[in-house]
Structure 1
Amino acid sequence: MSDQERAELRVEFVHRLASRNLLMLSGRRAGGHLAVGDAVTIRTPAGESIRTTIRTVELHGRPGMTTVGVESGAGEVPAGSVLYTA
């Protein structure tokens, strides 16, 4: 996958959705598309890499704001992390 096709989401907000066992990551997306089923890597500000799969994608009225849901067992994902497609 080229850099132009690779999608990135710079995480601004993190919410746990216990009723659906999801970790919701909201932020600004750049590059390619994000879709349910995409394998992604999350790089935390501390340099940790977390691999997971997107379970839901939501677009919000605020321009450029996207929320993706990943399994809540993915680990601790703080604001400032970057989610990207492989």
Structure 2
Amino acid sequence: MSMRDRIKKSVAHANQQLGEREGQLLLNTNFDLVHLSPAIQNNEKYQALVQVIQSASSRNLSVAELEDNIRQLGDEAWELTQDMLSAAKRAM
């Protein structure tokens, strides 16, 4: 594998994981106070995802544990997480 391919693979892998700051943002954001689009709030995975985030926050889980719990909800929940992060960043 060439160096370029290894770099691409590494970047792709990093982009598929929560960064420490993103994870902390999820754990520290009160999503009741953040303006979320109806598309986010009406998603069937939204309530389950918020419960996972709130549970992780109250139990003081690590970002890696939070990410594992989100991924257990499936790909749609992971994509919804990215949308929620974007909304939380805009609200800051």
TM band (smaller chain): under 0.3
Query: Which of the pair is proportionally richer in strand?
Result: 1
TM-score normalised according to structure 1 size: 0.27
Instruction: State which structure, 1 or 2, has the greater radius of gyration over its C-alpha atoms.
Output: 2
TM-score normalised according to structure 2 size: 0.26
